[in-house]
Amino acid sequence: MLLSLKGKFLLLLLAVAAVSLSSSLFLSRLIIRDFQSYHEGEMEDRVYWVTADLEGTFEQHGGWPRDLLAKDTARALLLGLEIRVRDAGGALVMDSDQALALLPPLTRERVLAVSGPATKGGAYLPYPLFLKGEQVGQLEVRFLDRGKERFFISRANRFLALAALVLGLLAATLGIIAARRLARPITALATAAEAISRGELEQKIPVGGNDELGLLARSFNQMAHSLKLQNALRKKLHANAAHELRTPLAAMRAEVEGMLDGLVPAGREQLQSLNEEIGRLTRIVEGMEDLIQAEASPLNIRKSRILPSQLLQGITERYSPRFREKGVELAVRADKKLAALADPDRLSQIMINLLNNALKATAPGGSVTVAAAAAPDGTLISVADTGRGIAPDDLPHIFERFYRGNEGGLGLGLAIVRELVDAHGGRVEVRSEPGRGSTFTVFLPSS
């Protein structure tokens, strides 16, 4: 990892801060430039006012009266201009020092209060003074730098530097906090995933919020939970299977050893019994294969729109000889137009297992009814028998693997039914009354 997620995030935030800072720097440069040209224009206007004043004085008095010139010069000082006035011959007729000396003391004080602290800088610029097209003198001006402009610019620069510092610090802090927040759940996820790959399935990571990371954490927890469940189921199946196989194997072994020791005659009857045990073992192994396939069915289920009445009719036709043989009535009740969403092969297996159980449980003279009906958001398919029913103590366990009440079956049929119904996203329920019969109902969702 060249750069951690945290580092990348921090870098991104710093880059954003740098871009916003440089654009504000550019903007502030533009503002300062505009301010400077505005200031220059303003000073030009002031020179124009002073020129107009001086020309007016000359026009009124036909010359350069010193007391009026002193006033004009003092006003120019108040406007931030230090001036010198020369007559048409080029002789100096008034400058700031002379003007200040001529002013009454109070006025002088006021003028000095404004213009005094200013630094004088730069050369005098000449402006000719005209009356009716004829040059009557010359005004020389230099601008007093009263520091206002410099103050404005330095304040703007200081503000920018401060903003850069604050923004940089803020971006870095926010970046670190956000990066930590972002990286923490991902690191937790990586650690938990690693633990799972080592076989430690007991993993749960904290879910923070409803954003994408929260969703990821939730999905991860779900995945870890179902992995744990699957693992537990697999262990249980192995244990159950070993137990189921061990008993008939032990019986067979005892019988064969007895024959070898000469304690049991190796006659036709004994071989027949051995053959039956082998048949039972074969059925267990086949049943387990069916169950394993059923467990894998969520991965390869192929749902399509089917007509339950047709499917049920087909199955019951195939099974009716066995029912007839036992003297059990078999009936189908399903609306011909009713449609359902199901994998036909898997649904057939569900129905066959339920019909087998119903037939086993129903005494001659009884009946089994298979029905299909529409339900909100799906279809209900039921198998009802008038058989012996299921004891309340057995009822909660009949869907477990190898649970088989007091009969000699394998105890896998209903476990397979439940796996296949689950694979459809549906559910299976049972109602039973001992001595009166049982009804198994399968709900298949329509989506």
> Which range touches ligand ADP (CB under 6 A), out of 11-19, 99-107, 321-329, 400-408?
400-408
Q: Give the residue carrying structure tokens 């011959």.
A: 89
For ligand ADP, give the closer residue by CB, 189 or 430.
430
Number of residues that bind ligand ADP (CB under 6 A): 20
Q: Which of 312, 431, 311 is nearest to 369 (CA)?
A: 312
Which C-beta is closer to ligand ADP: that of 311 or that of 410?
Answer: 410
Using CB under 6 A as the binding rule, the residues of this chain from 407 to 436 that contact ligand ADP are 407, 409-415
CB of 370 to ligand ADP, least distance (A): 12
* Candidate segments 189-197, 200-208, 373-381, 384-392, binder of ligand ADP by CB under 6 A: 384-392
Please give the residues from 318 up to 357 whose contact with ligand ADP meets the rule CB under 6 A: 357
Residue of closest CB approach to ligand ADP:
409
> At what angle are helices 344-361 and 308-326 packed, to 10 degrees?
30
Q: For 286, phi and psi rounded to 5 degrees?
A: -65, -45
Out of 214, 248, 258, 405, the residue judged to bind ligand ADP by CB under 6 A: 405
Kindly state the tokens that stand for 250.
């032990």
Residue 155 makes CB contacts below 8 A (sequence gap 6+) with: none
- The three-state DSSP-derived secondary structure of 50-110 is HHHHHHHHHHHHCCCCHHHHHHHHHHHHHCCEEEEEEECCCCEEEEHHHHHHHCCHHHHHH
Min separation Cβ 398 and ligand ADP, Å: 4
- Output b/e per residue, 293-315; b: 16+ Cβ within 10 A: ebbebeeeeebeebbbbebbeeb
Give the closest residue to 420 by CA, choosing from 298, 286, 278: 298
State which of residues 390, 421, 423, 442 lies at the interface with ligand ADP (CB under 6 A). 390
Q: Which is nearer to ligand ADP, 342 or 414 (CB)?
A: 414
CB of 413 to ligand ADP, least distance (A): 3
Q: Tell which residue, 361, 379, 358, has the closest CA to residue 369.
A: 358
Minimum CB distance to ligand ADP smaller for 45 or for 407: 407
Q: How far is it, in rounded angstroms, from Cα 447 to Cα 442?
A: 15
Q: Give the shortest CB-410-to-ligand ADP separation in angstroms.
A: 4
- Among the candidate windows 217-225, 277-285, 290-298, 386-394, which touches ligand ADP by CB under 6 A? 386-394
Among candidate residues 385, 384, 381, the one with its CA nearest the CA of residue 310: 381
To ligand ADP, the closest distance from the beta carbon of 362 in angstroms equals 8
The mark string for 23-42 relative to ligand ADP (x by CB under 6 A, - otherwise) is: --------------------
Shortest Cβ 429–ligand ADP spacing (Å): 13
Tell me the C-alpha distance between 93 and 103, whole Å. 15
Candidate list 8, 404, 427, 431; residue touching ligand ADP; CB under 6 A: 404
Residue 200 vs 407, nearer CB to ligand ADP: 407
Where on the phi/psi map is residue 413: left (φ > 0), alpha (ψ -120 to 50), or beta?
alpha
Closer to ligand ADP by CB, 306 or 414: give it: 414
Nearer to ligand ADP, 138 or 240 (CB): 240
Could you give the string, one character per residue 184-223, with x where binding to ligand ADP holds by CB under 6 A and - elsewhere? ----------------------------------------
Least distance to ligand ADP from the beta carbon of 12, Å? 59
Q: Which residue pairs from 51-60 have beta carbons closer than 8 angstroms and sit at least 24 positions apart in sequence?
A: 51/127, 51/129, 51/139, 54/85, 54/129, 54/137, 54/139, 55/129, 55/130, 55/131, 55/136, 58/129, 58/131, 58/136, 58/137, 59/131
Q: Which of residues 90-119 bind ligand ADP (CB under 6 A)?
A: none
- x/- binding map, residues 351-380, to ligand ADP, per CB under 6 A? ------xx--x-------------------
What sign results for the dihedral spanned by CA atoms 419, 420, 426, 427? Answer: negative
Q: Which tokens is 210 given? A: 């409803």
Cβ count within 10 A of residue 367: 16
Which of residues 398, 420, 428, 444 is near ligand ADP by CB under 6 A? 398
Cβ-in-10-Å burial (0-12, 13-18, 19+) of 27 comes to exposed
Whether 57 and 64 have beta carbons less than 8 Å apart is answered as yes
Q: Does 438 bind ligand ADP (CB under 6 A)?
A: yes
Question: In the complex, what is the shortest distance from the CB of residue 402 to ligand ADP, in angstroms, rounded to a whole number?
Answer: 8
Positions in the binding site for ligand ADP (CB under 6 A): 357-358, 361, 385, 387-388, 390, 398, 403-405, 407, 409-415, 438
